[in-house]
Chain A
Amino acid sequence: MTRRVVITGIGIIAPGAKDTAAFWDNCLAGRAAVSPIPPHWRHYAEFTSTIWAPLPVLDYPALGLSRVELMQLDASSMLALCAAQQALDSARIGRAVKNEKKNTFALEGINPERTAVYCGSGIGGLTSLIAAQANHVVSPLAKAFSLVQQQLALDGTHAPARTVLADAEESIRMPPRFNPFIVSMTMPNAISANVGIKYSLFGPNTTVCCACSAGTVAIGNAFTAVRAGLADCALCGGAEFLGDDFGGIFRGFDIAHTLVNPGNDPDCANRPFDKRRSGFLFAEGGAAILVVEELSHARNRGAPIVAEITAFAESFDGHNIMMMDPSAVHIRRMLGTLLKNAGLDLSDIDYVNSHGTGTTANDEIEARVILDCFGKKPLVNSTKSLIGHTIGAGGAIEAAVTALSIKNKTTHACKNLDEPIADLNFVRHVETFPIKKAVSQSFAFGGHNAGLVLEEYE
Protein backbone atom coordinates (compact mmCIF):
# COMPACT_ATOMS: atom_id res chain seq x y z
CA MET A 1 0.00 0.00 0.00
CA THR A 2 1.32 3.47 -0.92
CA ARG A 3 2.50 5.48 2.04
CA ARG A 4 0.88 8.92 2.08
CA VAL A 5 2.93 11.98 3.01
CA VAL A 6 1.47 15.01 4.74
CA ILE A 7 2.71 18.42 5.82
CA THR A 8 2.10 19.00 9.52
CA GLY A 9 4.24 22.01 10.32
CA ILE A 10 5.48 25.17 8.61
CA GLY A 11 8.09 27.72 9.68
CA ILE A 12 8.95 30.75 7.56
CA ILE A 13 11.34 33.68 7.84
CA ALA A 14 11.28 35.96 4.81
CA PRO A 15 11.90 39.56 3.82
CA GLY A 16 9.45 41.57 5.89
CA ALA A 17 8.37 38.67 8.12
CA LYS A 18 9.81 37.01 11.21
CA ASP A 19 7.36 34.13 11.27
CA THR A 20 4.74 32.26 9.29
CA ALA A 21 1.77 34.28 10.59
CA ALA A 22 3.38 37.62 9.72
CA PHE A 23 4.46 36.28 6.35
CA TRP A 24 0.97 35.06 5.46
CA ASP A 25 -0.55 38.35 6.62
CA ASN A 26 1.88 40.22 4.37
CA CYS A 27 1.00 37.94 1.47
CA LEU A 28 -2.73 38.46 1.74
CA ALA A 29 -2.32 42.21 2.35
CA GLY A 30 0.03 42.52 -0.63
CA ARG A 31 2.76 44.04 1.54
CA ALA A 32 6.07 43.77 -0.26
CA ALA A 33 9.52 44.18 1.24
CA VAL A 34 11.46 46.66 -0.90
CA SER A 35 14.29 48.95 0.30
CA PRO A 36 17.31 50.73 -1.15
CA ILE A 37 20.49 48.64 -1.01
CA PRO A 38 22.85 49.43 1.92
CA PRO A 39 24.54 52.78 1.15
CA HIS A 40 28.06 51.52 2.01
CA TRP A 41 27.91 48.98 -0.86
CA ARG A 42 28.45 51.95 -3.17
CA HIS A 43 32.03 52.21 -1.90
CA TYR A 44 32.78 49.15 -3.99
CA ALA A 45 30.83 49.53 -7.22
CA GLU A 46 28.20 51.37 -9.17
CA PHE A 47 25.14 49.17 -9.39
CA THR A 48 22.43 49.10 -12.04
CA SER A 49 19.83 47.73 -9.65
CA THR A 50 19.68 49.66 -6.39
CA ILE A 51 16.88 47.98 -4.46
CA TRP A 52 16.56 44.72 -2.57
CA ALA A 53 14.25 42.89 -0.19
CA PRO A 54 15.89 42.89 3.26
CA LEU A 55 15.18 40.46 6.06
CA PRO A 56 13.68 41.86 9.27
CA VAL A 57 16.11 42.37 12.14
CA LEU A 58 16.14 39.06 13.97
CA ASP A 59 16.89 38.80 17.68
CA TYR A 60 18.62 35.43 17.49
CA PRO A 61 19.21 35.03 21.27
CA ALA A 62 15.50 35.65 21.84
CA LEU A 63 14.80 33.01 19.19
CA GLY A 64 16.80 30.49 21.20
CA LEU A 65 20.31 30.61 19.73
CA SER A 66 23.22 30.65 22.15
CA ARG A 67 26.20 32.98 22.25
CA VAL A 68 28.37 30.17 20.90
CA GLU A 69 25.98 29.46 18.03
CA LEU A 70 26.02 33.14 17.06
CA MET A 71 29.80 32.91 16.71
CA GLN A 72 29.94 29.53 15.00
CA LEU A 73 27.01 29.45 12.60
CA ASP A 74 26.52 31.13 9.25
CA ALA A 75 23.30 33.12 8.94
CA SER A 76 21.89 30.48 6.57
CA SER A 77 22.05 27.89 9.35
CA MET A 78 20.63 30.31 11.91
CA LEU A 79 17.68 31.07 9.61
CA ALA A 80 17.11 27.35 9.07
CA LEU A 81 17.19 26.65 12.81
CA CYS A 82 14.72 29.43 13.62
CA ALA A 83 12.36 28.33 10.85
CA ALA A 84 12.70 24.70 11.99
CA GLN A 85 11.68 25.61 15.54
CA GLN A 86 8.61 27.40 14.19
CA ALA A 87 7.75 24.36 12.07
CA LEU A 88 8.09 21.99 15.03
CA ASP A 89 5.91 24.24 17.18
CA SER A 90 3.21 24.36 14.52
CA ALA A 91 3.43 20.57 14.09
CA ARG A 92 3.02 20.29 17.88
CA ILE A 93 6.27 18.43 18.33
CA GLY A 94 7.73 19.18 21.74
CA ARG A 95 11.37 19.09 22.73
CA ALA A 96 13.46 18.30 25.78
CA VAL A 97 16.94 19.65 26.51
CA LYS A 98 19.57 17.10 25.56
CA ASN A 99 22.76 19.08 26.17
CA GLU A 100 22.59 22.50 27.77
CA LYS A 101 26.10 23.53 26.74
CA LYS A 102 25.55 22.60 23.11
CA ASN A 103 22.00 23.97 23.23
CA THR A 104 20.65 20.78 21.66
CA PHE A 105 17.33 19.01 22.10
CA ALA A 106 15.60 15.68 21.66
CA LEU A 107 12.19 15.75 19.98
CA GLU A 108 9.28 14.21 21.83
CA GLY A 109 7.14 11.50 20.25
CA ILE A 110 9.49 11.15 17.26
CA ASN A 111 11.90 8.30 16.50
CA PRO A 112 15.12 10.23 15.74
CA GLU A 113 16.56 7.37 13.69
CA ARG A 114 13.50 7.51 11.42
CA THR A 115 13.58 11.29 10.99
CA ALA A 116 15.41 12.86 8.05
CA VAL A 117 16.61 16.37 7.25
CA TYR A 118 16.71 17.74 3.71
CA CYS A 119 17.42 21.46 3.28
CA GLY A 120 18.17 23.31 0.08
CA SER A 121 20.54 26.22 -0.41
CA GLY A 122 22.13 28.04 -3.30
CA ILE A 123 25.33 29.24 -1.68
CA GLY A 124 25.49 27.70 1.80
CA GLY A 125 27.69 29.75 4.10
CA LEU A 126 29.42 31.78 1.41
CA THR A 127 28.79 35.12 3.14
CA SER A 128 30.75 33.91 6.18
CA LEU A 129 33.64 32.97 3.91
CA ILE A 130 33.52 36.41 2.31
CA ALA A 131 33.75 38.03 5.76
CA ALA A 132 36.62 35.80 6.84
CA GLN A 133 38.38 36.37 3.54
CA ALA A 134 38.06 40.12 4.03
CA ASN A 135 39.90 39.78 7.34
CA HIS A 136 42.45 37.44 5.75
CA VAL A 137 43.27 39.73 2.83
CA VAL A 138 42.61 43.17 4.20
CA SER A 139 44.18 42.93 7.69
CA PRO A 140 47.81 43.35 6.54
CA LEU A 141 46.78 46.01 4.03
CA ALA A 142 44.84 47.91 6.70
CA LYS A 143 47.93 47.96 8.94
CA ALA A 144 50.08 49.34 6.11
CA PHE A 145 47.36 51.80 5.26
CA SER A 146 47.26 53.04 8.84
CA LEU A 147 51.04 53.51 8.94
CA VAL A 148 51.00 55.55 5.74
CA GLN A 149 48.20 57.71 7.11
CA GLN A 150 50.07 58.31 10.35
CA GLN A 151 53.25 59.24 8.48
CA LEU A 152 51.43 61.66 6.21
CA ALA A 153 49.72 63.23 9.20
CA LEU A 154 53.07 63.67 10.96
CA ASP A 155 54.58 65.23 7.88
CA GLY A 156 51.61 67.56 7.61
CA THR A 157 51.90 67.36 3.85
CA HIS A 158 50.05 65.68 1.00
CA ALA A 159 46.64 66.92 2.06
CA PRO A 160 44.89 65.60 -1.09
CA ALA A 161 46.41 62.16 -0.54
CA ARG A 162 45.25 62.17 3.06
CA THR A 163 41.72 62.97 1.94
CA VAL A 164 41.81 60.11 -0.55
CA LEU A 165 43.09 57.75 2.11
CA ALA A 166 40.46 58.89 4.62
CA ASP A 167 37.73 58.21 2.06
CA ALA A 168 39.20 54.84 1.23
CA GLU A 169 39.42 53.92 4.89
CA GLU A 170 35.67 54.07 5.12
CA SER A 171 35.43 51.19 2.67
CA ILE A 172 37.57 48.90 4.84
CA ARG A 173 35.15 46.57 6.56
CA MET A 174 36.09 43.29 8.10
CA PRO A 175 35.38 41.23 11.18
CA PRO A 176 38.00 41.70 13.92
CA ARG A 177 39.33 38.17 13.55
CA PHE A 178 39.53 35.33 11.04
CA ASN A 179 36.80 33.06 12.35
CA PRO A 180 38.34 29.74 13.43
CA PHE A 181 35.08 27.98 12.62
CA ILE A 182 35.00 29.20 9.01
CA VAL A 183 35.17 25.73 7.41
CA SER A 184 32.09 24.47 9.18
CA MET A 185 30.35 27.80 8.60
CA THR A 186 30.97 27.77 4.85
CA MET A 187 30.19 24.19 3.88
CA PRO A 188 26.68 24.02 2.41
CA ASN A 189 25.91 20.75 4.19
CA ALA A 190 26.19 22.67 7.48
CA ILE A 191 22.58 23.81 7.09
CA SER A 192 21.03 20.35 7.29
CA ALA A 193 23.77 19.18 9.64
CA ASN A 194 23.04 21.96 12.12
CA VAL A 195 19.32 21.14 12.05
CA GLY A 196 20.14 17.48 12.66
CA ILE A 197 22.52 18.35 15.51
CA LYS A 198 20.10 20.82 17.12
CA TYR A 199 17.30 18.24 17.31
CA SER A 200 19.39 15.04 17.58
CA LEU A 201 18.03 13.50 14.38
CA PHE A 202 19.86 10.50 12.98
CA GLY A 203 18.07 9.67 9.72
CA PRO A 204 19.22 10.68 6.21
CA ASN A 205 20.67 14.20 6.25
CA THR A 206 21.55 16.10 3.09
CA THR A 207 21.76 19.69 1.89
CA VAL A 208 20.59 20.04 -1.69
CA CYS A 209 22.52 22.56 -3.79
CA CYS A 210 20.73 23.38 -6.99
CA ALA A 211 20.28 27.15 -6.82
CA CYS A 212 16.73 28.42 -7.23
CA SER A 213 15.09 24.99 -7.21
CA ALA A 214 17.00 23.70 -4.15
CA GLY A 215 14.11 24.19 -1.73
CA THR A 216 11.68 22.36 -4.00
CA VAL A 217 14.08 19.46 -4.58
CA ALA A 218 14.80 19.21 -0.83
CA ILE A 219 11.09 18.85 -0.07
CA GLY A 220 10.82 16.42 -2.98
CA ASN A 221 13.64 14.33 -1.53
CA ALA A 222 11.91 14.29 1.86
CA PHE A 223 8.64 13.26 0.22
CA THR A 224 10.42 10.48 -1.69
CA ALA A 225 12.21 9.21 1.43
CA VAL A 226 9.07 9.14 3.57
CA ARG A 227 6.96 7.57 0.84
CA ALA A 228 9.61 4.91 0.23
CA GLY A 229 9.79 4.06 3.92
CA LEU A 230 13.33 5.33 4.43
CA ALA A 231 11.99 7.70 7.09
CA ASP A 232 8.68 8.38 8.84
CA CYS A 233 9.22 12.06 9.37
CA ALA A 234 11.43 14.80 7.92
CA LEU A 235 12.35 18.41 8.43
CA CYS A 236 12.78 19.83 4.95
CA GLY A 237 12.85 23.09 3.03
CA GLY A 238 15.43 25.70 2.22
CA ALA A 239 17.57 28.43 3.74
CA GLU A 240 19.61 31.19 2.17
CA PHE A 241 21.54 34.23 3.25
CA LEU A 242 22.88 36.45 0.45
CA GLY A 243 23.61 39.73 2.24
CA ASP A 244 27.40 39.85 2.36
CA ASP A 245 28.81 43.06 3.80
CA PHE A 246 30.17 44.30 0.48
CA GLY A 247 27.26 43.62 -1.87
CA GLY A 248 29.49 41.25 -3.80
CA ILE A 249 26.84 38.58 -4.31
CA PHE A 250 24.32 41.25 -5.29
CA ARG A 251 26.89 42.59 -7.77
CA GLY A 252 27.27 39.15 -9.34
CA PHE A 253 23.57 39.06 -10.19
CA ASP A 254 23.52 42.75 -11.08
CA ILE A 255 26.41 42.53 -13.52
CA ALA A 256 24.69 39.59 -15.20
CA HIS A 257 21.71 41.92 -15.86
CA THR A 258 19.29 39.69 -13.96
CA LEU A 259 18.11 42.23 -11.36
CA VAL A 260 15.16 44.59 -11.42
CA ASN A 261 15.56 48.13 -12.69
CA PRO A 262 14.24 50.33 -9.87
CA GLY A 263 12.99 53.04 -12.24
CA ASN A 264 11.17 56.02 -10.80
CA ASP A 265 8.98 54.03 -8.44
CA PRO A 266 10.97 51.31 -6.65
CA ASP A 267 7.86 49.96 -4.91
CA CYS A 268 6.35 49.09 -8.27
CA ALA A 269 9.53 47.90 -9.99
CA ASN A 270 9.25 44.21 -9.11
CA ARG A 271 6.49 42.95 -11.42
CA PRO A 272 6.64 39.30 -12.48
CA PHE A 273 4.55 38.42 -15.56
CA ASP A 274 3.92 42.09 -16.32
CA LYS A 275 4.85 43.61 -19.66
CA ARG A 276 7.02 46.18 -17.88
CA ARG A 277 9.04 43.66 -15.84
CA SER A 278 12.79 44.17 -15.91
CA GLY A 279 14.39 41.55 -13.67
CA PHE A 280 14.12 39.96 -10.27
CA LEU A 281 14.21 41.62 -6.85
CA PHE A 282 17.25 40.36 -4.93
CA ALA A 283 16.31 39.19 -1.44
CA GLU A 284 18.71 39.29 1.49
CA GLY A 285 17.68 35.77 2.40
CA GLY A 286 15.02 33.65 3.99
CA ALA A 287 14.08 30.18 5.13
CA ALA A 288 11.12 27.86 5.11
CA ILE A 289 11.15 24.53 6.88
CA LEU A 290 8.29 22.05 6.70
CA VAL A 291 7.58 19.05 8.88
CA VAL A 292 6.44 16.21 6.63
CA GLU A 293 5.28 12.87 7.94
CA GLU A 294 3.86 9.57 6.83
CA LEU A 295 0.10 9.87 7.31
CA SER A 296 -0.41 7.25 10.04
CA HIS A 297 2.61 8.65 11.92
CA ALA A 298 0.97 12.08 11.87
CA ARG A 299 -2.47 10.75 12.81
CA ASN A 300 -1.16 8.60 15.65
CA ARG A 301 0.26 11.62 17.37
CA GLY A 302 -2.73 13.84 16.62
CA ALA A 303 -0.81 16.21 14.39
CA PRO A 304 -2.55 19.05 12.55
CA ILE A 305 -2.48 18.28 8.81
CA VAL A 306 -1.97 21.28 6.54
CA ALA A 307 -1.91 19.54 3.15
CA GLU A 308 -0.78 16.35 1.45
CA ILE A 309 2.17 16.02 -0.91
CA THR A 310 1.24 13.60 -3.67
CA ALA A 311 4.04 13.90 -6.21
CA PHE A 312 7.51 15.21 -6.95
CA ALA A 313 9.37 15.31 -10.25
CA GLU A 314 12.55 16.88 -11.54
CA SER A 315 14.40 17.24 -14.82
CA PHE A 316 17.47 18.94 -16.20
CA ASP A 317 17.72 21.27 -19.20
CA GLY A 318 21.26 20.38 -20.29
CA HIS A 319 21.23 23.68 -22.12
CA ASN A 320 22.95 26.66 -20.45
CA ILE A 321 24.28 27.37 -16.97
CA MET A 322 22.43 30.72 -16.68
CA MET A 323 19.53 30.55 -19.12
CA MET A 324 16.40 28.46 -19.42
CA ASP A 325 15.99 26.38 -22.54
CA PRO A 326 13.46 28.49 -24.56
CA SER A 327 11.77 25.33 -25.84
CA ALA A 328 11.14 24.30 -22.22
CA VAL A 329 10.99 20.74 -23.44
CA HIS A 330 12.36 19.32 -20.23
CA ILE A 331 10.13 21.49 -18.05
CA ARG A 332 7.11 20.15 -19.94
CA ARG A 333 8.43 16.61 -19.51
CA MET A 334 8.94 17.23 -15.79
CA LEU A 335 5.39 18.54 -15.39
CA GLY A 336 4.01 15.56 -17.32
CA THR A 337 5.86 13.18 -15.03
CA LEU A 338 4.74 15.15 -11.99
CA LEU A 339 1.06 14.84 -12.81
CA LYS A 340 1.42 11.22 -13.83
CA ASN A 341 3.07 10.52 -10.47
CA ALA A 342 0.15 12.24 -8.74
CA GLY A 343 -2.39 10.35 -10.84
CA LEU A 344 -3.90 13.62 -12.04
CA ASP A 345 -4.82 15.19 -15.36
CA LEU A 346 -3.57 18.64 -16.25
CA SER A 347 -7.12 19.92 -15.95
CA ASP A 348 -7.30 18.82 -12.32
CA ILE A 349 -4.90 21.52 -11.16
CA ASP A 350 -6.59 24.47 -9.44
CA TYR A 351 -3.55 26.57 -8.67
CA VAL A 352 0.04 26.98 -9.85
CA ASN A 353 2.52 28.76 -7.60
CA SER A 354 4.88 29.78 -10.36
CA HIS A 355 8.62 30.30 -10.29
CA GLY A 356 7.74 33.84 -11.46
CA THR A 357 11.06 35.64 -11.11
CA GLY A 358 10.25 38.77 -13.10
CA THR A 359 13.08 38.38 -15.61
CA THR A 360 12.14 39.03 -19.21
CA ALA A 361 13.07 35.63 -20.61
CA ASN A 362 12.03 33.36 -17.73
CA ASP A 363 8.52 34.77 -17.32
CA GLU A 364 7.95 34.55 -21.05
CA ILE A 365 8.91 30.88 -21.13
CA GLU A 366 7.08 30.00 -17.91
CA ALA A 367 3.87 31.74 -18.97
CA ARG A 368 3.90 29.76 -22.22
CA VAL A 369 4.51 26.50 -20.37
CA ILE A 370 1.66 27.14 -17.92
CA LEU A 371 -0.70 28.02 -20.76
CA ASP A 372 0.31 24.95 -22.80
CA CYS A 373 0.34 22.51 -19.90
CA PHE A 374 -2.44 23.70 -17.61
CA GLY A 375 -4.51 26.02 -19.78
CA LYS A 376 -6.33 29.06 -18.49
CA LYS A 377 -8.12 27.39 -15.61
CA PRO A 378 -5.67 27.31 -12.70
CA LEU A 379 -4.96 30.33 -10.57
CA VAL A 380 -1.40 31.55 -11.04
CA ASN A 381 0.67 33.78 -8.78
CA SER A 382 4.28 34.64 -8.05
CA THR A 383 5.37 34.80 -4.41
CA LYS A 384 8.56 36.49 -5.61
CA SER A 385 6.41 39.50 -6.53
CA LEU A 386 6.14 40.09 -2.77
CA ILE A 387 9.42 38.98 -1.22
CA GLY A 388 11.84 38.93 -4.14
CA HIS A 389 14.05 35.97 -4.94
CA THR A 390 15.50 34.09 -1.98
CA ILE A 391 17.31 31.61 -4.29
CA GLY A 392 17.67 28.31 -2.39
CA ALA A 393 14.87 29.15 0.04
CA GLY A 394 12.48 30.24 -2.72
CA GLY A 395 11.06 26.84 -3.64
CA ALA A 396 10.49 25.98 0.00
CA ILE A 397 8.75 29.27 0.77
CA GLU A 398 6.59 28.80 -2.32
CA ALA A 399 5.69 25.22 -1.36
CA ALA A 400 4.69 26.61 2.03
CA VAL A 401 2.55 29.25 0.32
CA THR A 402 0.95 26.51 -1.77
CA ALA A 403 0.14 24.47 1.34
CA LEU A 404 -1.25 27.53 3.16
CA SER A 405 -3.32 28.45 0.10
CA ILE A 406 -4.91 24.99 0.08
CA LYS A 407 -5.53 25.04 3.83
CA ASN A 408 -6.92 28.59 3.93
CA LYS A 409 -8.78 28.35 0.61
CA THR A 410 -7.29 31.59 -0.59
CA THR A 411 -4.01 32.85 -1.93
CA HIS A 412 -2.15 36.08 -2.55
CA ALA A 413 -2.35 38.32 -5.58
CA CYS A 414 0.46 38.98 -8.08
CA LYS A 415 1.95 42.23 -6.87
CA ASN A 416 2.33 44.98 -9.51
CA LEU A 417 0.73 42.93 -12.26
CA ASP A 418 -0.95 45.60 -14.39
CA GLU A 419 -0.49 44.30 -17.93
CA PRO A 420 -0.08 40.52 -17.97
CA ILE A 421 2.12 39.01 -20.66
CA ALA A 422 -0.25 36.08 -21.14
CA ASP A 423 -3.91 35.27 -20.87
CA LEU A 424 -3.57 33.24 -17.69
CA ASN A 425 -5.78 33.17 -14.59
CA PHE A 426 -3.42 35.38 -12.60
CA VAL A 427 -4.57 36.13 -9.06
CA ARG A 428 -5.43 39.83 -9.07
CA HIS A 429 -7.38 40.06 -5.81
CA VAL A 430 -7.51 38.04 -2.62
CA GLU A 431 -10.77 36.18 -2.30
CA THR A 432 -12.02 32.72 -1.41
CA PHE A 433 -10.72 30.13 -3.84
CA PRO A 434 -11.62 26.44 -3.65
CA ILE A 435 -8.04 25.22 -4.12
CA LYS A 436 -7.79 21.46 -3.76
CA LYS A 437 -4.94 20.46 -6.03
CA ALA A 438 -1.93 22.64 -6.72
CA VAL A 439 1.53 22.67 -8.27
CA SER A 440 4.58 24.54 -6.98
CA GLN A 441 7.35 24.74 -9.57
CA SER A 442 10.93 25.99 -9.63
CA PHE A 443 13.60 26.43 -12.29
CA ALA A 444 17.23 27.15 -11.50
CA PHE A 445 20.53 28.48 -12.78
CA GLY A 446 22.25 25.35 -14.00
CA GLY A 447 19.08 24.02 -15.60
CA HIS A 448 17.42 22.23 -12.68
CA ASN A 449 13.63 21.99 -12.98
CA ALA A 450 11.47 20.67 -10.16
CA GLY A 451 7.84 20.51 -9.16
CA LEU A 452 5.63 19.32 -6.33
CA VAL A 453 1.93 18.48 -6.28
CA LEU A 454 0.15 19.41 -3.07
CA GLU A 455 -3.46 18.46 -2.40
CA GLU A 456 -6.10 19.10 0.18
CA TYR A 457 -5.96 16.36 2.80
CA GLU A 458 -9.17 14.36 2.85
Chain B
Amino acid sequence: MEIAGTDALIMERMTKVISDVLKPGSQPITLDKRFKEDLGADSLDVVSLLMALEEEFHTQISDEEAARFTTVGAAFDYVKVKAAQKAS
Protein backbone atom coordinates (compact mmCIF):
# COMPACT_ATOMS: atom_id res chain seq x y z
CA MET B 1 0.00 0.00 0.00
CA GLU B 2 1.39 3.40 -0.91
CA ILE B 3 1.03 6.16 1.63
CA ALA B 4 1.10 9.76 0.45
CA GLY B 5 0.57 13.34 1.62
CA THR B 6 -0.22 13.93 5.29
CA ASP B 7 -0.44 10.21 5.85
CA ALA B 8 3.14 9.80 4.66
CA LEU B 9 4.30 12.37 7.21
CA ILE B 10 2.42 10.56 9.94
CA MET B 11 3.97 7.26 8.89
CA GLU B 12 7.43 8.83 8.83
CA ARG B 13 7.04 10.13 12.36
CA MET B 14 5.58 6.85 13.54
CA THR B 15 8.39 4.85 11.99
CA LYS B 16 10.89 7.01 13.83
CA VAL B 17 9.10 6.41 17.15
CA ILE B 18 8.91 2.66 16.59
CA SER B 19 12.54 2.58 15.56
CA ASP B 20 13.61 4.61 18.64
CA VAL B 21 11.73 2.36 21.03
CA LEU B 22 12.06 -1.11 19.53
CA LYS B 23 15.37 -0.81 17.65
CA PRO B 24 14.31 -3.50 15.16
CA GLY B 25 17.64 -3.34 13.36
CA SER B 26 17.43 -4.23 9.68
CA GLN B 27 13.78 -5.31 9.97
CA PRO B 28 11.76 -2.83 7.85
CA ILE B 29 8.84 -1.16 9.62
CA THR B 30 5.80 -1.74 7.42
CA LEU B 31 2.07 -1.66 8.10
CA ASP B 32 1.74 -5.44 8.25
CA LYS B 33 4.41 -5.89 10.93
CA ARG B 34 3.27 -7.21 14.32
CA PHE B 35 4.95 -5.46 17.25
CA LYS B 36 5.61 -8.56 19.29
CA GLU B 37 6.08 -11.34 16.79
CA ASP B 38 7.85 -9.42 14.01
CA LEU B 39 9.51 -6.46 15.72
CA GLY B 40 10.58 -8.21 18.93
CA ALA B 41 8.60 -6.14 21.43
CA ASP B 42 7.97 -7.49 24.92
CA SER B 43 5.08 -6.26 27.09
CA LEU B 44 7.11 -3.40 28.61
CA ASP B 45 8.25 -2.35 25.14
CA VAL B 46 4.60 -2.07 24.09
CA VAL B 47 3.87 0.19 27.06
CA SER B 48 6.90 2.32 26.19
CA LEU B 49 5.78 2.46 22.57
CA LEU B 50 2.31 3.67 23.54
CA MET B 51 3.81 6.38 25.74
CA ALA B 52 6.13 7.47 22.95
CA LEU B 53 3.27 7.61 20.44
CA GLU B 54 1.19 9.66 22.87
CA GLU B 55 4.10 12.05 23.30
CA GLU B 56 4.85 12.28 19.57
CA PHE B 57 1.27 12.87 18.48
CA HIS B 58 0.05 14.79 21.55
CA THR B 59 -2.77 12.40 22.19
CA GLN B 60 -3.94 10.00 24.87
CA ILE B 61 -4.49 6.36 24.13
CA SER B 62 -6.90 4.53 26.41
CA ASP B 63 -6.14 1.01 27.62
CA GLU B 64 -9.04 -0.25 25.50
CA GLU B 65 -7.64 1.35 22.38
CA ALA B 66 -4.14 0.21 23.24
CA ALA B 67 -5.27 -3.41 23.37
CA ARG B 68 -5.97 -3.22 19.63
CA PHE B 69 -2.46 -2.00 18.82
CA THR B 70 -0.95 -5.27 17.74
CA THR B 71 0.37 -4.17 14.35
CA VAL B 72 1.99 -1.09 12.87
CA GLY B 73 -1.08 -0.74 10.63
CA ALA B 74 -3.49 -0.65 13.58
CA ALA B 75 -1.44 2.04 15.28
CA PHE B 76 -1.19 4.00 12.04
CA ASP B 77 -4.96 3.91 11.49
CA TYR B 78 -5.55 5.12 15.04
CA VAL B 79 -3.07 8.00 14.81
CA LYS B 80 -4.44 8.98 11.41
CA VAL B 81 -7.99 9.28 12.78
CA LYS B 82 -6.79 11.29 15.78
CA ALA B 83 -4.82 13.62 13.50
CA ALA B 84 -7.88 14.15 11.28
CA GLN B 85 -10.04 14.88 14.36
CA LYS B 86 -7.54 17.49 15.51
CA ALA B 87 -7.41 19.11 12.09
CA SER B 88 -11.21 19.36 11.78
Residues of chain A at the chain B interface (Cβ within 8 Å): 66-68, 71-72, 100-101, 176-177, 179-181
Contact = CB atoms under 8 A, between A and B. Distances in A.
A68 B21 CA distance: 6
A65 to B, nearest CB: 12
Interface stretch (B5-13, B44-52, B69-77, B80-88): B44-52
- 10 closest A-B pairs by beta carbon, nearest first, are A101-B23, A67-B20, A100-B23, A68-B48, A71-B51, A180-B47, A68-B21, A67-B52, A176-B60, A71-B48
Nearest to B17: A67
Nearest to B50: A180
Chain B interface mostly: helix
A266 B52 CA distance: 41
A66 B20 contact: yes
B54 A68 contact: no
A189 B62 CA distance: 31
**Interface size, B (range):** 10 to 19
B46 to A, nearest CB: 10
A177 B51 contact: yes
Contacts of A180: 47, 51
Chain A interface mostly: loop
B22 A71 contact: no
Contact of B21 (A67, A177, A179): A67
Contacts of A72: 48
B65 interface: no
B49 to A, nearest CB: 9
A67 B52 CA distance: 8
A72 B21 CA distance: 12
Contacts of B22: 101
A179 B54 CA distance: 12
A72 B40 CA distance: 19
Nearest to B22: A101
B54 A177 contact: yes
A452 to B, nearest CB: 39
Contacts of A179: 51
A427 B54 CA distance: 53
B55 interface: yes
Contacts of A176: 54, 60
Interface in B25-55: 25, 40, 45, 47-48, 51-52, 54-55
